Amino acid sequence: MTNPITVLSAERMLTLPEVASASAELCPAMARDAERHGLTVDGPWIFVSHGLPKDSRTAFRIAFCLPVSVAAPYDGAYAVKTLEPMVCASGRHEGPLPTLFSDGYGPLLRAIEDAGHALSGESREIYHRWQGPDSAGNRIEIQFGLR
C-alpha cells in the first residue's frame, strides 16, 4: 500500500511513443514552476498512467507528477493534487528505458497474473534515479494498482 503523496501534476492523453517528448518538455517546465512558486520538491518524479495500452497506437491518460510540499496557496500553471493510497504490486527496473517493458513490466505483470490478482487500471513509474533514456544507471520502480 502506498502513502498519499501531494504532487504538482500535468495530465495528458498520449500514446506510448509520445511520452518521452512530452516528459522532456513538461518536467523541466514543472520544476521551474515549482521553484518559482516556492514549492519544495519532496521526492522523485512519478508518472501515473490510467488504462496503459498494450500497443503503441492507443492513447491513454498519463499524469506527470512531481512530489511537493506546499506551504502557501499555489496559483501556477499546473494542478496540485494528492495521489491517493493504492494497494499495489511493485517491482524495480534498472537499466535503459528501451528495456523497461520487457525486463520491468513483463516479469511484474506475469507475477501478478500468476498470483491471481486483478489490475485496477492505474500504474505508476517512480524515477528514483534518472541518467538518461539509454543509461544502465536508471532505477525505476513500477507499481500496478490491484483491485
The pLDDT assigned to 70 comes to 87
59/53 Cα distance (integer angstroms): 8
118/134 Cα distance (integer angstroms): 32
First-last CA distance in the chain: 12
51/37 Cα distance (integer angstroms): 32
Identify the bridge partners of residue 146 per DSSP, sorted by sequence position. 119
pTM exceeds 0.85 for this model: yes
Find out whether 109 and 146 touch, Cβ atoms under 8 Å: no
3-state secondary structure of 111: helix
Sequence-ordered strand ranges (E) for 30-138 = 40-41, 46-50, 60-69, 79-83, 88-94, 119-129
Cell of 120: 485496477
The pLDDT assigned to 18 comes to 97
3-state secondary structure of 128: strand
The pLDDT assigned to 69 comes to 95
Give the tens place of pLDDT for each residue, 5-45: 999 999 999 999 999 999 999 999 999 999 999 999 999 99
34/28 Cα distance (integer angstroms): 10
Flag whether pLDDT at 88 surpasses 90: yes
Instruction: Work out the pLDDT band at 71, boundaries 50, 70, 90.
Output: confident
Average pLDDT over residues 99-119: 96
